[in-house]
A and B are shown apart, each in its own frame.
Chain A
Amino acid sequence: MAAILSFFADFPIELFFIQTLNGIVTGMILALIASGLTLIFGIMDVVNFAHGELFMLGAYVGVIVLSTTGSFWLALLLAALLVGIFGAAMQIVTLRPLLGRDPLTTILATFGMSLILQNYALWQFGPVARKINEPYTGHFNLFYLEYPWYRLMIAGLSAAIIGGFWLFLKHGKFGIWIRATMQDRVMAQAMGIPVPLVHTVAFAIGAAMAAASGVLFGPLVGVNHTMGLDWVLKAFIVVVVGGMGNLGGSIAAAIFISLLEAYASIWVSPAQAVIVSFVVLIFTLLFRPTGLFVPTPK
């Protein structure tokens, strides 16, 4: 009893607020990566193991554009555009011919692409991490911390990109095509929807979103050839916990898991806090394998 009382008495309320903010910021970045991953899985049943490398590639394009033009916003735009085009090419060359075969073939293909891209980046840019300067360096006071505005901007921009993507899906011809293909590929094709094109465009959108998050997140961690690994692992957890192929679920799961990790690192070291997401993953798979944030089917 005394222990419980002292827990509440010592509860670090200020740290709690800071961690809530941190959790939401990382959660939004994670949601942006995971949206693309879950879109690609939902529409093609392809687990894209190269997703983290598209994120990394986006960050490098950002580094190059930023160093030549000096504009962060141009870097963000061009990274999304170029990696989107690259993603379309990659889908046409490696995934389109494999569609409908054993899932193992697409896993191996995307895993192979991930190794190629990682080693290309190492060969091209070297092992030393590059830096993307944040476009806005201001801070504000949050209790005893100088909290960078840029972190809030990341969360806002990620939310804006996800929101834009949602509007694109909800309205307009192509959004309907994507959702119809996600639900029933065969029937979509029988309705005259050009499914191969829809697949390619969906992959390109997923790649562009990963690239955009790479540029947005670059200023916080530094850009190197393995930066995609941690994120893609977390994004996979989020996609499974959110319900494979369920966009809203992935976004909810991204924020949920990031918040849990942020709170856990109040008491344990951040490296140990990662355990929380695996615990959530294991319990999800054990007790609700269709995903935590999936509405119960009618």
Chain B
Amino acid sequence: MSAQATSQATSEDTATAPLVAVEGLHTYYGKSHILHGVSLTIGRGEVVGLLGRNGVGKSTTLKTIMGLVYPRQGKVVLEGRPVTALPAHKIAKLGIAYVPEDRRIFRLLTVLENLRTGLDRPGVTDARKQELLDKVFACFPVLGERRNQAGGTLSGGEQQMLAIARAMMLEPKIILLDEPTEGLMPRMVTQIHQIIDALHKEGVAILLVEQNVPLTLEASQRVYIMEKGAIRHHAKSSDLKIGDDVIKQYLGV
């Protein structure tokens, strides 16, 4: 996946070009070099897993794509358009949504107000807003019941649902999903899996960072495996199994 190949891809028909192309990202936190040239692509409506041990730079990759951290080198291309230097709020408007690892619910805002942070965009009619809310409340009935409750009073699983629902309010082309099942009960994990499948059916692409390898392999079409700030392995999810050597080598499971 050289830079040349991707620039050819961007000039092609957008249907075959990747939705998001990340090329050679080098990101630093102060002096520590976190990402050492990360490159990956995500197609339209594709669910892509990003696996790796703790601290290999998976979350930093998501933050760099979202524009929350600026890379020192490399670029992020969305639908053929470089978005690397844009502030996060402009990237969000172009169709990338972010569900962070620690959920980052607005704790003092009600559930409905949390959703409205993504809903009050220019060009969204009131009817469309209601439609999006109805859809999300149908998908997560508990959020509908607690719409006037402060976000901080929800349980961990409910907060995770709210974080995903909030991202859906942006009608994104891709959701960057960082460890959605972390710390959740098994029943909730199943539910998150169903949500990912539902989003996939709707044609929303997902870049999924997870520690739960079986879930990732089931829910995604392709996976990248990271180690020490770089992509080390890339495969179709159906070609990998839990017992495989690559998985053992990079993930230790």
A residues near B (Cβ < 8 Å) are 173, 176-177, 179-180, 183-184, 186-196, 298
Tell whether, in the assembled complex, residue A188 and residue B68 are in contact, meaning their CB atoms are under 8 Å apart.
no
Tell whether, in the assembled complex, residue B98 and residue A179 are in contact, meaning their CB atoms are under 8 Å apart.
no
Name B108's contact: one of A183, A186, A193, A194 (CB within 8 Å): A183
- Report B88 CB to chain A, min CB distance, Å: 4
Tell whether, in the assembled complex, residue A184 and residue B92 are in contact, meaning their CB atoms are under 8 Å apart.
no
B residues near A (Cβ < 8 Å) are 66, 68, 87-89, 92-93, 97-98, 100, 104, 106-109, 113, 116-118, 120-121, 152-153, 166, 170
* Bound form: Cα–Cα A179–B105 in Å: 12
* Bound form: Cα–Cα A192–B167 in Å: 10
Tell whether, in the assembled complex, residue B117 and residue A180 are in contact, meaning their CB atoms are under 8 Å apart.
yes
Q: Which residues of B contact A195 (CB under 8 A)?
A: 87, 89
Tell whether, in the assembled complex, residue B121 and residue A190 are in contact, meaning their CB atoms are under 8 Å apart.
no
A180 with B106: in contact, given A173-B116, A191-B170, A193-B117 (CB under 8 Å)? yes
Tell whether, in the assembled complex, residue A191 and residue B87 are in contact, meaning their CB atoms are under 8 Å apart.
no
Tell whether, in the assembled complex, residue B89 and residue A189 are in contact, meaning their CB atoms are under 8 Å apart.
yes
Q: Which residues of B contact A298 (CB under 8 A)?
A: 152-153
What are 18 contact pairs spanning A and B, CB under 8 A? A173-B116, A173-B120, A176-B120, A177-B117, A177-B120, A180-B113, A180-B117, A184-B104, A186-B88, A189-B68, A190-B68, A190-B92, A190-B100, A191-B170, A192-B117, A192-B118, A193-B89, A193-B117
- Report A88 CB to chain B, min CB distance, Å: 19
Tell whether, in the assembled complex, residue B104 and residue A192 are in contact, meaning their CB atoms are under 8 Å apart.
no
Q: Which residues of A contact B109 (CB under 8 A)?
A: 176, 179-180, 183
Tell whether, in the assembled complex, residue B116 and residue A176 are in contact, meaning their CB atoms are under 8 Å apart.
yes
Tell whether, in the assembled complex, residue A189 and residue B88 are in contact, meaning their CB atoms are under 8 Å apart.
yes
Tell whether, in the assembled complex, residue A192 and residue B116 are in contact, meaning their CB atoms are under 8 Å apart.
no
Query: In the complex, which of the residues B92, B98, B113, B117 has the most CB atoms of chain A within 10 Å of its own CB atom?
Result: B117
Q: Which residues of B contact A184 (CB under 8 A)?
A: 104, 106
Name B100's contact: one of A177, A183, A187, A194 (CB within 8 Å): A187
Tell whether, in the assembled complex, residue B166 and residue A191 are in contact, meaning their CB atoms are under 8 Å apart.
yes
* Bound form: Cα–Cα A85–B108 in Å: 29
Tell whether, in the assembled complex, residue A191 and residue B153 are in contact, meaning their CB atoms are under 8 Å apart.
no
* Bound form: Cα–Cα A206–B252 in Å: 54
Q: Which residues of A contact B170 (CB under 8 A)?
A: 191-192
Q: Which residues of A contact B117 (CB under 8 A)?
A: 176-177, 180, 188, 191-193
Tell whether, in the assembled complex, residue A176 and residue B113 are in contact, meaning their CB atoms are under 8 Å apart.
yes
* Bound form: Cα–Cα A298–B116 in Å: 24
Name B107's contact: one of A177, A183, A190, A192 (CB within 8 Å): A183
* Bound form: Cα–Cα A191–B92 in Å: 6
Tell whether, in the assembled complex, residue A194 and residue B113 are in contact, meaning their CB atoms are under 8 Å apart.
no
A191 with B118: in contact, given A176-B113, A186-B68, A298-B152 (CB under 8 Å)? yes
Q: Which residues of B contact A187 (CB under 8 A)?
A: 100, 104, 106
- Report A207 CB to chain B, min CB distance, Å: 24
- Report B128 CB to chain A, min CB distance, Å: 15
* Bound form: Cα–Cα A266–B97 in Å: 60
Tell whether, in the assembled complex, residue A189 and residue B87 are in contact, meaning their CB atoms are under 8 Å apart.
yes
Q: Which residues of B contact A193 (CB under 8 A)?
A: 89, 117
Besides A177-B120, A190-B89, 4 other A-B contacts (C-beta < 8 A) = A180-B106, A180-B113, A192-B118, A196-B87
Tell whether, in the assembled complex, residue A194 and residue B89 are in contact, meaning their CB atoms are under 8 Å apart.
yes
The 4 closest A-B pairs by CB, nearest first: A192-B92, A173-B120, A187-B104, A189-B88
- Report B25 CB to chain A, min CB distance, Å: 18
- Report A168 CB to chain B, min CB distance, Å: 14
* Bound form: Cα–Cα A173–B92 in Å: 17
* Bound form: Cα–Cα A187–B88 in Å: 9
A179 with B89: in contact, given A173-B116, A188-B117 (CB under 8 Å)? no
Q: Which residues of A contact B66 (CB under 8 A)?
A: 190
B114, closest chain A residue (CB):
A180
Q: Which residues of A contact B98 (CB under 8 A)?
A: 190
Query: In the complex, which of the residues B106, B121, B153 has the most CB atoms of chain A within 10 Å of its own CB atom?
Result: B106
* Bound form: Cα–Cα A177–B114 in Å: 10
Q: Which residues of B contact A196 (CB under 8 A)?
A: 87
- Report A296 CB to chain B, min CB distance, Å: 13
